[in-house]
Amino acid sequence: MKTITILVLCLIFVGCRYVRNADDTVYNEVSASALLKKYEWFKDASAKLDSKLASIQVAESRLTALEKQYTGVARKEWARTDAEQSSVWAQEVAGLKMSYNSLASEYNAKMAKENYRFCNEGELPKGATKPLPRDYKPYVTN
């Protein structure tokens, strides 16, 4: 009888520990400060993604303007400095696109998680006027 009592008490203790752990986890994930921090991350990431897209457009237009100067001219006949600059700008555009895609994939992955439903339209935090984009697809590939 004593062994059964000890066994029951141990099971109750272990069960309470799991319940307490689950309670702590839920509190840490959905407390007001945690939700605000998550929402701010999405706002910051959204602004960075918009900035990266604008930077990609600027860099591509710079590269296109340079290439237009040499329309119909073989690349090997370009001025050396212009050919080098074109290569540098092409690498810059590729780097910006990779950076955009990396942040967009992180944004999309986090937004897809169940605990980020607060970012959906109709559930905006007080003072917010526009819902965050649900995702940033398609990625920039060319």
Q: Check: CB of residue 136 under 8 Å from CB of residue 104.
A: yes
The pLDDT tens digits for 6-41 are: 766 666 766 666 666 666 766 666 677 877 888 888
pLDDT classification of 112: cutoffs 50, 70, 90: confident
Q: Residue 51: which domain range?
A: 33-142
In DSSP notation, 71-131 reads: TTS-GGGS-HHHHHHHHHHHHHHHHHHHHHHHHHHHHHHHHHSGGGGGGSTT-PPTT--SP
Establish if 125 belongs to a structural domain: yes
Residue 2 lies in a domain: no
Q: For residues 6 and 123, which has the higher predicted lDDT (pLDDT)?
A: 6
In a domain, 132, yes or no: yes
Residue 25: inside a domain: no
The pLDDT assigned to 39 comes to 83
Tokens of residue 64, six digits: 């296109």
Residues 6+ away with beta carbon under 8 Å from 103: 45, 48, 49, 52
* Residue 4 maps to a domain: no
Q: End-to-end CA distance of the chain, in Å?
A: 74
Residue 40 maps to a domain: yes
In a domain, 41, yes or no: yes
Whether the predicted model's global pTM rises above the 0.75 cut: no
On whether residue 5 sits in a domain, the answer given is no
* pLDDT at residue 59, as a whole number: 95
Q: Average pLDDT, whole number, for the chain?
A: 80
pLDDT in tens, 49-80: 999 999 999 999 999 999 999 999 999 999 99
Rg of the chain over CA atoms, in angstroms?
Answer: 26
How many folded domains does the chain comprise?
1
